[in-house]
Amino acid sequence: MEQKPTSNIIQATEPRKEIQLSPPQVKGGMPLMEALGERRSKRSFSGSGISDQQLSDLLWAANGINSHAAFRGQPGLRTAPTARNHQEIELYVFIPSGIYLYDAFNNKLVLVREGDHRASAGEQGFFAEAPLSLCIAAHFKKMEAYTEEKKQFYSAVDAGYVSQNIYLYCASEGLCTVACGRIDREVLHNLLLLDQGKAILSHPVGIE
Ligand X SMILES: Cc1cc2nc3c(=O)[nH]c(=O)nc-3n(C[C@H](O)[C@H](O)[C@H](O)COP(=O)(O)O)c2cc1C
Min dist. Cβ of residue 124 to ligand X (A): 6
Q: Which long-range contacts does 160-165 make (Cβ < 8 Å, 24+ apart)?
A: 161/80, 161/81, 161/82, 162/62, 162/63, 162/80, 162/89, 162/91, 162/136, 163/136, 163/201, 163/203, 165/61, 165/62, 165/63, 165/79, 165/80
Contact 137/127 with Cβ under 8 angstroms? no
**Cα(149)–Cα(96) distance, integer angstroms:** 36
Min dist. Cβ of residue 202 to ligand X (A): 8
Residue of this chain nearest to ligand X (CB atom) = 182
* Nearer CB in complex with ligand X: 50/178: 178
* Nearer CB in complex with ligand X: 170/179: 179
Min dist. Cβ of residue 21 to ligand X (A): 27
Min dist. Cβ of residue 26 to ligand X (A): 25
b/e code 189-208 from CB counts within 10 Å (16+ = b): eebbebeebbbbbbbbbbbe
* Nearer CB in complex with ligand X: 116/123: 123
Min dist. Cβ of residue 156 to ligand X (A): 8
Residues in touch with ligand X (CB under 6 A): 40-41, 43, 124, 178-182
Min dist. Cβ of residue 66 to ligand X (A): 23
* Nearer CB in complex with ligand X: 65/188: 188
Distances (CA, A) of 153 to 83, 86, 140, 147, 157: 10, 13, 12, 10, 6
- Of 51, 57, 55, give the one whose Cα is nearest residue 28: 57
* Nearer CB in complex with ligand X: 42/78: 42
* Nearer CB in complex with ligand X: 77/179: 179
